[in-house]
Amino acid sequence: MLVVFAGYQHFLFGQGPVQTGITRTFSGIPIPEVLDTLASGYGLKIYYLPSENIPRDLFTGSFNNQTADEAIRTVLSKSSLQVIAVSDRIFFLTSALGREGVNMNRYLSTKAKLENEYLPGGLVLGHPDSMPIQGPARILGWIRNSRDETPVEGAVVQIGDADAVTDSAGKFTILTLPGTYSLRVISDRFSEFNQNLKVFGDDHLELNLFESTVDLPELVVGANARQKLQEATSGLSQLSVKEIQRLPSLMGEADVVKALTTLPGVSTTGEVGSGYHVRGGNTDQNLVLQDGVAYLNTSHVLGLFSSFNADAINNVSLYKGHIPARFGGRISSVLDIQLKDPDMKAWNFQGGLGPISSKVYLEGPVVKDKTSMLAGLRFSYSDWILRWLRDPNLKNSQADFYDFSVKVNHRFKPGHVLSLSTYASKDLFNYADQFGYGWQTLSFSAQWYLDLKPGMSLHASAGRSSNRNHFTETDQDKTEYRIGTGLGFNNAKARLAWQISPSQFFQAGAEWTGYTPDDENYRVKPASDAATNEYYPKTRGREAAAYIQLESRISPKLNISIGYRHSLYWQAGPARIRMYSPGQPRTEESVTGTKDYAKGSGIKTYQGFEPRLSLAYSTGPQSSIKLSYNKMNQYIHLISNTAVATPVDIWQLSNQHIAPQRGNNYSLGFFKNLKDHRWETSLEFYFRNSRNELEYKDFARLLRNEFLETEIFAVKGRSYGAELFIKKAVGDFRGYLSYTLNRSLRKSEGLYPDEVINHGAFYASNFDKPHAINALFDWQIRKTFSWSARFVFNSGRPQTAPVAEFYLGDGGHFFDYSERNEFRIPVYHRLDLSVTVTRGNIRTRKYKASWTFSIYNAYNRRNAFSVFYRRNVNEPPVAYKLSVLGAILPSVTYNFRF
């Protein structure tokens, strides 16, 4: 019988009795058949590589009580094959002696020993015939919760000295040499699992863990820290839902974006405002993905809350340094949010009640072990607060939001899963029938995972996302004015992941996005007449990209991740393109003509070369140095001429006159863990230069403007800084402290006066905050009682301020303003506290509940969101600061689960 495993073949004839001597006569028999006869007749095992050429010469000869070794050597005496006798009945045939032969000898000895070793109650991984001749066996495994078969993330799997940590899918890979080991699985929520293990070769391992009252977080955290230290991805921050939920919160609402801002290098412009800034980048330079679908808006209530439901999230990864080649389209960072995989075994329900919003979440099997689903809903009911207010206009106002997530998983078999998900969110605010605004997101996605073979998988997805916003105003005569914009896109992508060898991981994929913007609609609806509509066409475009990436362990100390992404963008018709007089600024006056393009026709093409490189070099068992470089391209821009981005800003695609943003990101990090990885420290430096970032002419007219190129122009960007981070991740008292030095600068290089800012010198961007300190402490006093504290400090953001005053002839007083962003608003600092109390031992109760008491802004700091200037009649001008959350904000949240 010929058996092929792992690239090796051998004749396995060893089922017969072992005889002491060979006595046999062959006459004109082909050598392979002679060997076959000897093996089957005398219980021998004869191995050789497929590449070895076993001669088919005819053999004639006799053996009389000779040893197997003598017989085989006689048969092959005329060939170049060497015979290695591993034992008196195991032989290996090779054409090359030396190192390979020696290895094979060792291999066969190990294999024979393993085969014969008795292991009471032990697991066996791999088949003796699959045992690799060289190198380790690859164990691919999944760890699940025995109660509901949900993945267990963060569990440490140890096989001998090798270990790994499970990912969000509960998946791990361990490379270990064949042998006999102890298998150990440790998680902070589950009982420790121990088992003897015999490893022959590559195999799958699936284990279900049982929930436990024993916490073993230190080992888990230690393993995580060790893994982070070695991986060649610098600037990657990961947050679990558990970590997010431990943070003190505003109004008791666990918030993904606010949790991100506790990380070094991540900031917002204030309590309100859409989006966040990473390492000096603008809000539109962050790619936000939820289950692979891009999101343009991340906030509710103008940024007071994020639009992601933490209950439905499995984990959150922020790439702010090295960005793997599978991501693209933004030049600053990638936020990858993974939703939970719903429970396949049992239904769970959980929820939370807060003062202005509540949430419910459920998950469970539709068809047990086959199909499961989750659904999460958050909704506000803040109108009751408005009803309490004295102002009659506010009393008659309306403020609502909701978001809704649904995900359905169907598992055809292990490693073959189809996942469908949808997400909807909406914000609406109307002020006493006078004006209002709103924005909404609706998305669908389908994802298909398929393990093609051990170590190789395919992930394909397709999705559609629609983002719309509007604002309205009503005149004295009840005429309603409304401006609405929107951007939708269809996206399809496929990725192949292949663990080529224990030290090499390869990925390749392609992606396509078709943008479908809504034309900007300006509607005027008089009270008594029919509405009139104006449409301002927006740029249409398509984007495609392909990439490859290889992660390789070049040596035990050096890991490398190298990739290349090539992106292609083309502006598509229909469109009317203006032409401007050369040598003149783009204004209404310099228009020389227009050209119309038909639907679907190509207008302008851009492409991007995007190399990605990251290196991690271990300088010791608990230290490493990481270096990374990314080149990124961005074909979509947020048009916002306010100091803080808002959810009703306009998204604009690159076109003939608006070039893509291009950025080069560099980072260098030093990482050092202490006390057996219980403490993590790091110092990272980063630098980014970019071009074609958008800047605005003074008083740019951005609405009802089909030709935005007359109001905007391209500038250079430069960001640099350093992040110092110290974390204690182990023990009842945990926390971290970080300091970030960050500069975010811009420089205009326009030829025309309207396109020159601050005389062409570098100036601070709207979100330049040079200094930031974040501290977070979490103390688990008892199992049922913990408290946490967070302190934030950062520089005030830049501002253009009035520097002088002048008088016009008819009596008016007016301000003359400084250079762009020449001043700063006051520094920001705040302390938040929270206490979480659970009743009894929640692990033994089916109904689990906790109370969280939070105090936001504990020392009542009136931080400035903005500073503005007013002059009341006949009085000198005064500077005012607006504090959006200028009071202590206590909150109580009741969370439950059953």
Window 670 to 699, contacts with another protein (CB under 8 A): 696, 698-699
Q: Which two tokens stand for residue 66?
A: 């000779």
User: 243, 220, 382: which is closest to 310 by C-alpha?
Assistant: 243
Task: Measure the CA–CA gap between 801 and 796, rounded to whole angstroms.
Answer: 13
The answer to whether 749 contacts another protein (rule: CB under 8 A) is no
Question: Measured in whole angstroms, how far is the alpha carbon of residue 117 from the centre of its chain?
Answer: 45
Residues 771-800 contacting another protein, CB under 8 A: 800
Half-sphere exposure of 464 (CA within 13 A, CB side): 4
Identity of residue 331:
I
CB 621 within 8 A of CB 276: no
Nearer to another protein, 429 or 569 (CB): 429
- Residue 709 or 754: which CB sits closer to another protein? 754
Residues 351-390, interacting with another protein (CB under 8 A): 385-386, 389
Closest distance to another protein from the beta carbon of 533 (Å): 10
- Pairing type for strands 203-209 and 137-145 reads parallel
Of 198 and 300, the one with the shorter C-beta distance to another protein is 300
Q: Are 651 and 639 in contact (CB under 8 A)?
A: yes
**In angstroms, rounded to a whole number, what is the distance separating the alpha carbons of residues 124 and 201?**
9
Nearer to another protein, 195 or 434 (CB): 434
| Touching another protein, residues 277-306 (CB under 8 A) | 302-303
User: Contact 189/160 with Cβ under 8 angstroms?
Assistant: no
> Which residue in the set 210, 412, 869, 896 belongs to the binding site for another protein (CB under 8 A)?
869
* Residue of 642, 675, 840, 892 that binds another protein (CB under 8 A): 642
Q: Which is nearer to another protein, 672 or 871 (CB)?
A: 871
Nearer to another protein, 274 or 405 (CB): 274
Contacts of 897 (CB under 8 A, 6+ apart): 348, 349, 350, 847, 848, 849
Among 582, 810, 846, 847, binds another protein (CB under 8 A): 810
Residue 835: how many CA atoms within 13 Å on its side-chain side? 7
Residue 591: CB minimum distance to another protein, A: 16
Q: Does 273 bind another protein (CB under 8 A)?
A: yes
> E strands of 2-128, at which residues?
2-5, 8-12, 22-30, 45-48, 58-66, 82-85, 90-94, 123-125
- The reply to whether 705 sits near another protein by the rule CB under 8 A is no
Q: Which residue has the tokens 């009542």?
A: 860
22 binds another protein (CB under 8 A): no
CB of 331 to another protein, least distance (A): 22
- Compute CA distances 11 → 56, 84, 447, whole Å: 15, 15, 44
CB of 740 to another protein, least distance (A): 24
Which residues, 512 to 551, sit near another protein by CB under 8 A? 524, 526, 529, 532
861 is a contact residue toward another protein (CB under 8 A): no
Kindly state whether residue 620 participates in binding another protein, applying the rule CB under 8 A: no
Amino acid code (one letter) for 313: I
Q: Is 643 in the site for another protein (CB under 8 A)?
A: yes
Q: Is 133 in the site for another protein (CB under 8 A)?
A: no
Q: Does 865 bind another protein (CB under 8 A)?
A: yes
Interaction between residue 641 and another protein (CB under 8 A)? yes
Candidates 300, 553, 662, 820: give the one binding another protein (CB under 8 A): 820
Query: Binder to another protein among 84, 417, 712, 885 (CB under 8 A)?
Result: 885
Stretch that binds another protein, among 450-458, 653-661, 840-848, 878-886 (CB under 8 A): 878-886
The residue written with tokens 């933490």 in the block is 310
Rule CB under 8 A: choose which of 27, 582, 804, 847 binds another protein.
804
184 to 203, contacts with another protein by CB under 8 A? none
Among 350, 396, 398, 818, binds another protein (CB under 8 A): 818
Query: Which of the stretches 128-136, 241-249, 615-623, 639-647 binds another protein when contact is defined by CB under 8 A?
Result: 639-647
Q: Give backbone dihedrals phi and psi of 599, rounded to 5 degrees, phi first.
A: -60, 130
Q: Is 452 in the site for another protein (CB under 8 A)?
A: no
State the minimum distance, in angstroms, from the CB of residue 303 to another protein.
8
Rounded to whole angstroms, the Cα distance separating 638 from 655 reads 14
The least CB distance from residue 258 to another protein, in Å, is 16
216 CB-contact burial (10 Å; exposed 0-12 / middle 13-18 / buried 19+): middle
Tell me if residue 709 falls in helix, strand or coil. helix
- Judged by CB under 8 A, the residue of 123, 394, 558, 683 near another protein is 394
> Rounded distance, CA 406 to CA 404, Å?
7
User: Segment contacting another protein (CB under 8 A): 13-21, 290-298, 576-584, 806-814?
Assistant: 806-814
Q: Quick check: 429 binds another protein (CB under 8 A)? A: yes
Q: Considering the complex, what minimum distance in angstroms separates the CB of residue 349 from another protein?
A: 32
Q: If binding is defined by CB under 8 A, does position 95 make contact with another protein?
A: no
CB of 554 to another protein, least distance (A): 49
Q: How far apart are CA 564 and CA 550, in angstroms?
A: 9
Q: Considering beta carbons, is residue 2 or 873 the nearer one to another protein? A: 873
Which of these ranges, 475-483, 491-499, 509-517, 569-577, lies near another protein under the rule CB under 8 A?
475-483
What is the Cα–Cα distance from 18 to 501, expressed in whole angstroms?
Answer: 37
Q: Which of 512, 720, 752, 817 touches another protein (CB under 8 A)?
A: 817
Q: Does 760 bind another protein (CB under 8 A)?
A: no
In 3D, which of 332, 235, 330, 233 has the Cα closest to residue 281? 332
Answer for which of 194, 870, 892, 896 binds another protein (CB under 8 A) is 870
In this structure, what DSSP letter does residue 253 have? Answer: B
Contact between 708 and another protein by CB under 8 A: the answer reads no
> Does 128 sit behind a cis peptide bond, omega within 30 degrees of 0 on the bond before it?
no
Binding of residue 826 to another protein (CB under 8 A): yes
Q: Per-residue string for binding with another protein, 299-338, x by CB under 8 A?
A: ---xx-----------------------------------
Q: Which is nearer to another protein, 106 or 704 (CB)?
A: 704
Q: Which 3-state string (H, E, C) describes 255-324? A: CHHHHHCCCCCEECCCCCCCCCEECCCCHHHEEEEECCEECCCCEEHHHCEECCCHHHEEEEEEECCCCC
Verify binding: residue 444, another protein, rule CB under 8 A. no
- Which residue from 680, 587, 664, 630 is spatially nearest to 224, judged by alpha carbons? 680
By the rule CB under 8 A, 814 interacts with another protein: yes
Question: Do the strands 286-290 and 333-339 form a parallel or antiparallel pair, or are they unpaired?
Answer: parallel
SS3 category, 221? helix
Q: Which is nearer to another protein, 78 or 478 (CB)?
A: 478
* From 102-110, 216-224, 718-726, 813-821, span contacting another protein (CB under 8 A): 813-821
Binder to another protein among 117, 475, 596, 732 (CB under 8 A)? 475
CA–CA dist 462, 445 (Å, integer): 6
Name the 3-class secondary structure at 542.
strand
**Upper half-sphere CA count for residue 306 (Cβ side, 13 Å):** 25
**CA–CA separation, 804 and 784 (whole Å):** 59
**Please, which residue, 715 or 864, has the CB nearer to another protein?**
864
Instruction: Name the residue among 294, 329, 318, 341 with its Cα closest to residue 445.
Output: 294
Q: Among 363-371, 372-380, 458-466, 816-824, which window interacts with another protein (CB under 8 A)?
A: 816-824
The CA angle 499-181-680, to the nearest 5 degrees, is: 65
Q: Which is nearer to another protein, 716 or 813 (CB)?
A: 813
Q: How many residues bind another protein (CB under 8 A)?
A: 87
Q: Note whether 145 and 190 are within 8 A (CB).
A: yes
Q: Residue from 276, 437, 505, 736 that binds another protein (CB under 8 A)?
A: 437
